[in-house]
Copies of this chain bind each other. A is one copy, B any other.
Amino acid sequence: MKISELSRAAGVPIPTLKYYLRERLLLPGEPTARTQAEYSDEHVRRLRLIRALAETGGLKLREIRTVLDAIDEERLSIHDLLGVAHHALGPAESEEDRSPEARLARKEVDRFLADLGWRVSRDAPGRRALARALTTLRNVGWDAEPDVFEPYARAVEQMARREVASVGESGSRTEAVQQAVVGTIVFEMALVALRRLAQEHHSALAFPKRRRR
């Protein structure tokens, strides 16, 4: 297909598309004339993946490149690749993680995860996120210990077991990889949205309405 057809099929404007080509996020098409090239379904799939990472995952171009490079690196296992995606999604380390309160929270979170029996790498960004959550609760005057997260840990452990099992089902590595990375992002967006909706539902049942919105 021509570049205009590729643009329509993937829902990506031509200037953006040319930018991805220049940045080598997208491989060039097969040249058919001096200024024309032929693109394939593989290009469409790649563009949709880039869109999912950018629009749904909120990843920056640099982070998208890291994830795409990992996908292209055939020697990486799906486990390694999930790690790359998680690191790209962050949060990255920042000044706030180095305060005494943050360091204490991090130690407590590490102990909590060890007690759960979870095998997670020392530098998993999730540890940092959890420590920040704990610190924030304490900053607003909540006398919280890491076990306040335990019901959530139990709930997501069930989810994660099912999710990881389903990744194995897809045929090719490319499909499995795409499912692992996109699934991580899309289902967490869905999870957060559903939790807020469920809160609204239960809050409607629990609290009387005093005013119409």
Contact = CB atoms under 8 A, between A and B. Distances in A.
Interface in A105-142: 113, 118-121, 124-127, 129-130, 132-133, 136-137, 139-142
A79 B203 contact: yes
Interface stretch (A20-28, A31-39, A205-213): A205-213
Interface SS of A by simple majority = helix
A7 interface: no
Interface of A: 11, 45, 48-49, 51-52, 55-56, 75-80, 82-83, 86, 89, 96, 99, 113, 118-121, 124-127, 129-130, 132-133, 136-137, 139-142, 149, 151-153, 155-165, 167-168, 178-180, 182, 184, 186-211, 213
23 contacts: A11-B139, A48-B139, A52-B136, A56-B133, A56-B136, A77-B208, A79-B200, A79-B208, A89-B196, A118-B197, A120-B200, A121-B200, A124-B196, A126-B196, A133-B187, A133-B189, A133-B193, A152-B190, A152-B194, A153-B194, A159-B198, A161-B198, A164-B199
